[in-house]
């Protein structure tokens, strides 16, 4: 009896020694331990996000410090950082998710892991990827959180997990990702039919399709990469006239001149519609035309700048009302002189004076907004609008309403540079 | 005799009557800012001349309100009110018209967006401009940031009595704006009865095209959906037009950078071709 007890005693003693020897072996091996071993070390307690530190032994420490329990801060963010050492893309992110899923069937600490993953998604560039969100939902253990009786249904069963599910869907909502059938099936398997995440999913699926096509001026998801194409698209957008024609006056190029210096030529893309050309032809040559800019135009998250060629409005004494040609339209008279005006009940105009603004003759977009480039644009326009040859052009650059002014507004000094058309033509 | 000192910093305390006592309803308090425990009598500014001015102004308004009834409701002839198809509610022709509007941004929460409102160069339009920054303030509570708003002030009558806009003859909101391509959101806040409805707002999107041309925008009131504190609600109902408190514009499109919006006029009109009562379903969505 005593012998067996002694045997048991030594056997029980041997086990921790073996453990320590095992750790020693691990610690003596050089280099960082692979990810799956890192996760599977069984002396880790619950890990949390950076906000709540957890103390555990770092196995890569030296042998002497094994005897004193060492305290280092480890968090789930560290997993993603270690994965990010290779490259930050969808494959590494899903690898981290797979590693976590395969480590433990009970998925201990999955809520904190999912919150950390949601935070790291923009870094890995996967925040718009629906497959990754479905994979992240897959991390939840299935059928555990479904309430099984009326008491569980009453009392917000597993509130932390439900809140976590709602946060995943909220991140999808923020980035504009619409869930699909797989998401719905996963949510029902995990939380049941009447849970908060399913309600959130139902709200997404109700409101998102209603607001998808509400924009009367939609911007395509992928904007053209080529700057000339982007300029073409944005000029068509602001021209507000389907007859407007885009002309590329200069393509972007960078050449080396004789001295070996890099000379970059910015692109110049302009737009003008036939109506604008008509109005410009009637412009009086003694009044100057202004080149104003740069004005910002936002397309989703990118901002492009455009310049405008316009003139000041004529003072009221010089305005000439041209008689409307009755032969323009044979189907109905363009002007009617009646004895009675429209009654108040039929008057659909607003009782507001129209804002007096000069006509806009043309728009352009270019890379660099200096006077030389814009002068090249004017000379290009001159080919189709010969009146620009004898009209003084004034450059009012940096005078758009885009600048942010914290103190009282003062008009920026106009950069007046009167370029005679004849000099340009030479 | 009494003027409230700087009403923006010390909002009027609203008392919430519950079964367990009377509690003050506090407005948003920025995390890290100590609670404002000044007693209410300290907030009143006892200044004689200002008090006299106030009395004159309010009695003048009261007199005007009493005598304008003889001409018609709200001082306008009955024929106009019954027959009008369009009404210009706000136009920006002088500096006083800007006094009716309030700008705010996420600087109140600790963010870094800036917004300013001024009359544009030709004194005929209002220019709303600023810089949007989506950097989240580091107070541990806030998760999203980056918004700028322009909101009209509540209409006040004699002795600061709340009055409302009555747009029940109309069904479309008309705006003449010139934006820079950014999507804005319009908010209409109506007069409510219960304290739970305090943050109720009816919203709709306002998409700008950008460019040098003016943009005429017509939004029917049937398209406005109900939200509360930025969350769209499940039980939707159409916007009631008889007691409208404020109209607002919000920019929150998560793009960092400068923005501008020029507003020429805001009006309401009666679009006879628009027969839709409400654009969304009214049935109970969580059975």
pLDDT tens per residue across span A354-385: 888 889 999 999 888 788 888 889 999 999 98
Whether A245 has a pLDDT exceeding 60, the answer reads yes
Q: What is the dihedral of CA B106, B108, B114, B116, to 10 degrees?
A: 120
Q: Distance between alpha carbon B57 and the CA centroid of its chain, in Å?
A: 24
Q: Do B120 and A214 touch (CB under 8 A)?
A: no
Among B223, B249, B222, residue whose Cα is nearest residue B151: B249
**Which residues are bridge partners to B265 per DSSP?**
B91, B176
Euclidean distance between CA atoms A103 and A108, whole angstroms: 9
Euclidean distance between CA atoms B233 and A20, whole angstroms: 59
Q: Do B286 and A199 touch (CB under 8 A)?
A: yes
**Residue of B84, B129, B265 with shortest CB distance to A344:** B84
**How many alpha carbons fall within 13 Å on the CB side of residue A94?**
12
Euclidean distance between CA atoms A157 and A162, whole angstroms: 8
Residue with tokens 């080529």: A226
Among A420, A307, A419, residue whose Cα is nearest residue A374: A307
Q: Which residue of A has its CA nearest to B125?
A: A355
Least confident of A141-145, A269-273, A355-359, B155-159: A355-359
Q: What is the dihedral of CA A215, A217, A222, A224, to 10 degrees?
A: -170
**Average pLDDT along chain A:** 78
CB within 8 A of A109, min separation 6: which ones? Answer: A46, A47, A48, A76
Q: Give SS3 for A348.
A: coil
Q: Is the dihedral of CA A182, A188, A190, A196 positive or negative?
A: positive
Euclidean distance between CA atoms A54 and A48, whole angstroms: 7
Tell me the per-residue pLDDT of B205-217, one tens digit each, with 9 for 90 and over. Answer: 999 998 899 999 9
CA distance to partner chain A, nearest, from residue B159 (Å): 31
- For an interface test with A, give the residue of B78, B212, B265 to mutate (most A CBs within 10 A): B212
Q: Which residues of B touch A233 (CB under 8 A)?
A: none
Strands (E), A109-250: 245-250
Residue B286, chain A, CB below 8 Å: the answer is: yes
**How do the domains of chain B map onto residue ranges?**
1-39, 45-77, 85-277
Q: What is the mean pLDDT of residues B279-284?
A: 90
Q: How far is CA A120 from CA A50, A74, B207, in A?
A: 13, 16, 32
Cis peptide leading into A51, omega within 30 of 0? no
pLDDT at residue A72 in the model = 54
Return the higher-pLDDT residue of A19 and B265.
B265
Q: Which residue of A has its CA nearest to B175?
A: A350
Q: Do B121 and A411 touch (CB under 8 A)?
A: yes
Whether A11 has a pLDDT exceeding 70, the answer reads no
Q: Which residue of A has its CA nearest to B132?
A: A404
pLDDT at residue A261 in the model = 75
Q: What is the mean pLDDT of residues A91-118?
A: 92
pLDDT at residue A12 in the model = 41
Q: How far is CA B40 from CA A33, A221, B9, B54, in A?
A: 64, 54, 13, 20
The confidence band for A173, taking pLDDT boundaries of 50, 70 and 90, is very high
pLDDT at residue A256 in the model = 74
pLDDT at residue B204 in the model = 97
pLDDT at residue B155 in the model = 93
Residue B114, chain A, CB below 8 Å: the answer is: yes
Task: List the Cα angle A301/A305/A309 in 5-degree steps.
Answer: 150
Q: Do B213 and A350 touch (CB under 8 A)?
A: no
pTM of the predicted structure, to 2 decimals? 0.80
Which strand (E) or helix (H) includes residue B104?
strand B101-105
pLDDT at residue A329 in the model = 84
CA distance to partner chain A, nearest, from residue B137 (Å): 16
Q: Which residue of A has its CA nearest to B231?
A: A203
The confidence band for B189, taking pLDDT boundaries of 50, 70 and 90, is very high
Whether B18 has a pLDDT exceeding 70, the answer reads no
Euclidean distance between CA atoms A374 and A396, whole angstroms: 11
Residue B113, chain A, CB below 8 Å: the answer is: no
In total, the C-beta contacts within 8 angstroms joining chain A to chain B are 122
Tell me the per-residue pLDDT of B125-142, one tens digit each, with 9 for 90 and over. Answer: 999 999 999 999 998 888
Q: Got the DSSP string for A273-338? A: -HHHHHHHHTS-TTS-EEEEEEEEEEETTEEEEEEEEEEPPPPGGG---PPP-GGG-SSS-S----
Euclidean distance between CA atoms A172 and A175, whole angstroms: 5
Residue B245 DSSP class: E
Whether B249 has a pLDDT exceeding 60, the answer reads yes
pLDDT at residue B25 in the model = 61
Euclidean distance between CA atoms B58 and B50, whole angstroms: 12
Q: Which residues of B touch A202 (CB under 8 A)?
A: 285
Residue B273, chain A, CB below 8 Å: the answer is: no
Tell me the per-residue pLDDT of B138-176, one tens digit each, with 9 for 90 and over. Answer: 988 889 999 999 999 999 999 999 999 999 999 999 999
Q: Which residues of B touch A349 (CB under 8 A)?
A: 86
Count of Cβ atoms closer than 10 Å to residue A202 Cβ? 15
Euclidean distance between CA atoms A363 and B261, whole angstroms: 20
Euclidean distance between CA atoms A402 and B261, whole angstroms: 10
Q: Which residues of A touch B94 (CB under 8 A)?
A: none
Residue with tokens 């003694």: A286
pLDDT at residue B153 in the model = 95
The confidence band for A205, taking pLDDT boundaries of 50, 70 and 90, is very high
Q: Got the DSSP string for B149-201? A: EEEEPPEE-GGG-EE-B--TT--EEEEEEE--S-EEEEEEEE--SSGGGTTEE
Q: Which residues of B touch A406 (CB under 8 A)?
A: 114, 116
A29 phi and psi, to 5 degrees? -65, 140
Residue with tokens 């008509």: A278
Contacts 24+ apart (CB under 8 A), B51-55: B51/B1, B51/B2, B51/B3, B54/B1, B54/B3, B55/B1
CB within 8 A of B176, min separation 6: which ones? Answer: A352, B214, B215, B216, B217, B263, B264, B265, B266
Q: Distance between alpha carbon B44 and the CA centroid of its chain, in Å?
A: 26
Count of Cβ atoms closer than 10 Å to residue A86 Cβ? 10
The DSSP bridge pattern shows strands A289-299 and A393-397 to be parallel
pLDDT at residue A255 in the model = 76
CA distance to partner chain B, nearest, from residue A402 (Å): 6
Euclidean distance between CA atoms B9 and B29, whole angstroms: 11
Contact B104, B139 (CB under 8 A): no
CA-atom Rg of chain A in angstroms: 36
The DSSP bridge pattern shows strands A72-73 and B86-91 to be unpaired
Q: What whole-number percentage of chain B has pLDDT above 70?
A: 91
Euclidean distance between CA atoms A131 and A250, whole angstroms: 44
List alpha helices for chain B, DSSP H: 48-68, 78-83, 95-98
Q: Do B209 and A238 touch (CB under 8 A)?
A: yes
Q: Which residue of B has its CA nearest to A211?
A: B205
Q: What is the mean pLDDT of residues B86-102?
A: 92
Domain B85-277: which CATH class?
mainly beta
Q: Which residues of A touch B254 (CB under 8 A)?
A: 301
Q: Which residues of B touch A348 (CB under 8 A)?
A: 85-86, 269
The confidence band for B44, taking pLDDT boundaries of 50, 70 and 90, is confident
The confidence band for A79, taking pLDDT boundaries of 50, 70 and 90, is confident
Q: How far is CA B107 from CA A362, A371, B36, in A?
A: 39, 38, 19
**Residue of A298, A345, A409 with shortest CB distance to B83:** A345
Which strand (E) or helix (H) includes residue B244?
strand B244-251
Token couple for A413: 């000094």
């Amino acid at each position: 009896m005593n012998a067996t007890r002694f045997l048991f005693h030594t056997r029980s003693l041997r086990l921790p020694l073996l453990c320590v020897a095992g750790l020693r072996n691990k610690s003596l091996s050089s280099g960082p331990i692979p990810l799956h071993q890192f996760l599977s070390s069984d002396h880790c307690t619950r890990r949390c996000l950076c906000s709540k530190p957890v103390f555990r032994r770092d196995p890569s420490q030296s042998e002497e410090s094994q005897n004193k329990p060492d305290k280092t801060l480890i968090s789930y963010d560290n997993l993603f950082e270690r994965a990010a050492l290779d490259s930050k893309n969808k494959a590494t992110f899903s690898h981290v998710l797979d590693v976590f899923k395969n480590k433990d069937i009970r998925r201990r600490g999955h809520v904190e892991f999912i919150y950390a993953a949601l935070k790291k998604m923009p870094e890995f560039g996967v925040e718009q990827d629906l497959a990754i969100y479905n994979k992240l939902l897959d991390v939840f253990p299935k059928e555990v959180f479904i309430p099984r009786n009326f008491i569980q249904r009453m009392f917000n069963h597993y509130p932390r997990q439900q809140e976590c599910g709602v946060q995943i869907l909220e991140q999808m909502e923020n980035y504009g990702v619409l869930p699909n059938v797989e998401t719905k099936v996963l949510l029902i398997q995990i939380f049941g039919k009447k849970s908060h995440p399913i309600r959130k999913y139902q709200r997404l699926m109700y409101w998102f399709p209603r607001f998808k096509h509400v924009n009367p001026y939609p911007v395509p998801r992928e904007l053209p990469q080529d700057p000339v194409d982007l300029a073409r698209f944005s000029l068509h957008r602001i021209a507000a006239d389907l007859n407007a024609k885009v002309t590329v006056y200069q393509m972007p190029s960078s050449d080396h001149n004789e001295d070996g210096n890099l000379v970059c030529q910015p692109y110049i893309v302009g737009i003008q519609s036939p109506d604008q050309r008509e109005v410009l032809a009637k412009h009086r040559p003694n009044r100057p035309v202004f080149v104003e800019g740069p004005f910002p135009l936002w397309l989703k998250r990118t901002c492009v700048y455009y310049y405008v060629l316009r003139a000041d409005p004529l003072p009221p004494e010089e305005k000439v009302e041209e008689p409307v040609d009755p032969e323009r339209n044979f189907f109905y008279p363009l002007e009617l002189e009646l004895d009675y005006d429209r009654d108040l009940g039929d008057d659909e105009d607003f009782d507001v004076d129209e804002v007096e603004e000069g006509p806009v003759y043309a728009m352009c977009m270019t890379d660099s907004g200096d006077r030389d480039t814009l002068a090249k644009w004017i000379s290009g326009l001159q080919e189709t609008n010969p009146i620009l040859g004898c009209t003084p052009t004034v450059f009012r650059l940096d005078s758009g309403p885009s600048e942010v002014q914290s103190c009282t507004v003062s008009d920026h000094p106009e950069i007046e540079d009167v370029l005679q058309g004849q000099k340009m033509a030479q | 005799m009494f003027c409230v000192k700087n009403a923006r910093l010390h909002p009027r305390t609203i008392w919430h009557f519950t079964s367990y006592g009377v509690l003050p309803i506090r407005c948003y308090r920025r995390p890290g800012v100590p609670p404002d425990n000044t007693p209410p009598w300290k907030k009143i500014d006892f200044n004689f001349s200002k008090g006299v001015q106030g009395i004159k102004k309010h009695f003048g308004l009261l007199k005007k309100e009493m005598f304008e009834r003889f001409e018609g409701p709200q001082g306008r002839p009955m024929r106009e009110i019954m027959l009008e198809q369009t009404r210009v509610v706000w136009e920006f022709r002088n500096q006083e018209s800007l006094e009716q509007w309030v700008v705010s941004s996420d600087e109140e929460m600790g963010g870094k967006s800036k917004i300013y409102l001024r009359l544009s160069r030709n004194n005929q339009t209002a220019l709303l401009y600023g810089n949007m920054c989506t950097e989240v303030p580091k107070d541990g509570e806030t998760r999203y940031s980056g918004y700028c708003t322009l909101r009209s002030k509540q209409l006040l009558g004699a002795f600061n009595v709340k009055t409302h806009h009555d747009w029940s003859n109309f069904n479309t909101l008309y705006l003449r704006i010139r934006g820079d391509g950014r999507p804005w959101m319009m908010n209409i806040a109506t007069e409510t009865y219960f304290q739970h409805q305090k943050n109720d707002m009816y919203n709709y999107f306002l998409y700008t095209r950008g460019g040098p041309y003016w943009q005429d925008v017509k939004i029917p009131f049937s398209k406005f959906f109900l939200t509360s504190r930025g969350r769209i609600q499940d039980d939707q109902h159409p916007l009631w037009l008889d007691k409208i408190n404020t109209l607002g514009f919000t920019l929150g499109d998560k793009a960092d950078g400068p923005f501008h919006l020029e507003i020429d006029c805001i009006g309401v009109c009666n679009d006879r071709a628009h027969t839709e009562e409400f654009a969304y379903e009214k049935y109970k969505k969580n059975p």
